[in-house]
């Protein structure tokens, strides 16, 4: 791949750019189990996928609330409105990983467009990017609200490519979720896997073009 063939890098946000450790701390106040956050997040993603399959749509925040209510119900715990606001509010305050800033700066220096795509609402994305102090490095950010179907359905990938007037071959998608990259790969994007957690990339999914443990290293792989 030639260095100038990629004109834009699309980024997933939660877990890819933003560190969920703050959420882990918040959930730890109410559950003595390190896997509770992961369980909640997986159920949230599962419901978004089911909604897409059934051609139905609810805002990601609403799905998050339902998943949280079910988590407390399953564990015989009372979920007050105050606790709900506290836990879901922490989602807006996630810090960026240490390797995010230098990676985004590199892309800007190289004239590469930096785009965020998330299942979260535009309002949530705006708050997250601002609180993580990286919003100024993005050319644009898009929510699946615009297509009313969550990733990894192909709608939002194609919508953003069209909005940005980019050819499919000019885009690389970065994520730490193999299902997200599977969706991007199916529409023809180059894909780059940032290994944020100890997990096997699903061998049944289309495999990424690039892979690294550090985001700056991953950007150099994409550009070279």
Domain extents in the chain: 3-19+95-223, 21-93
- At 32 the pLDDT is 92
Beta partners for residue 14, in sequence order: 18
**Cα gap 104→112, rounded to integer Å:** 9
Which residues, 6 or more positions from 150, have their beta carbon under 8 angstroms from its beta carbon?
48, 49, 51, 52, 60, 119, 144, 156
Homologous superfamily (CATH) of 21-93 is: Putative phosphatase; domain 2 (1.10.150.240)
Q: What is the mean pLDDT of each run of 10 residues along the chain (224 residues)?
A: 75 96 92 93 94 95 96 96 94 96 98 97 96 98 96 97 97 98 98 95 98 98 94
221 and 1 in contact (C-beta within 8 Å)? no
Homologous superfamily (CATH) of 3-19+95-223 is: HAD superfamily/HAD-like (3.40.50.1000)
What is the model's pTM?
0.94
94 and 125 in contact (C-beta within 8 Å)? no
- At 2 the pLDDT is 43
* E-assigned strand segments in the chain: 8-11, 113-118, 140-143, 171-175, 190-194, 210-212
Q: Residue 219's closest CA among 95, 59, 75, 104?
A: 104
- At 47 the pLDDT is 96
């Amino acid at each position: 791949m030639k260095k100038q063939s990629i004109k834009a890098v699309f980024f997933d946000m939660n877990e890819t750019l933003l560190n969920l450790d703050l959420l882990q701390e918040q959930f730890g106040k109410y559950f003595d189990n390190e896997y509770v956050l992961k369980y909640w997040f997986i159920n949230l993603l599962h419901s978004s996928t089911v909604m897409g399959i059934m051609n139905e749509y609810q805002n990601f925040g609403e799905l998050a609330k339902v998943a949280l209510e079910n988590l407390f119900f399953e564990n015989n715990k009372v979920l007050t409105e105050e606790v709900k606001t506290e836990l879901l509010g922490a989602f807006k305050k996630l810090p960026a990983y240490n390797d995010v800033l230098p990676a985004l700066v590199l892309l800007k220096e190289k004239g590469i467009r930096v785009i965020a795509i998330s299942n979260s609402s535009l309002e949530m994305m705006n708050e997250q990017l601002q609180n993580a102090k990286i919003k100024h490095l993005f050319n644009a950010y898009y929510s699946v609200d615009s297509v009313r179907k969550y990733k990894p359905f192909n709608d939002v990938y194609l919508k953003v490519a069209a909005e940005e007037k980019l050819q499919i071959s000019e885009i690389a998608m970065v994520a730490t979720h193999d299902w997200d990259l599977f969706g991007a790969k199916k529409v023809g994007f180059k894909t780059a896997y940032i290994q944020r957690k100890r997990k096997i990339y699903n061998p049944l999914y289309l495999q990424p073009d690039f892979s690294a443990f550090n985001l700056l290293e991953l950007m150099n792989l994409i550009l070279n």
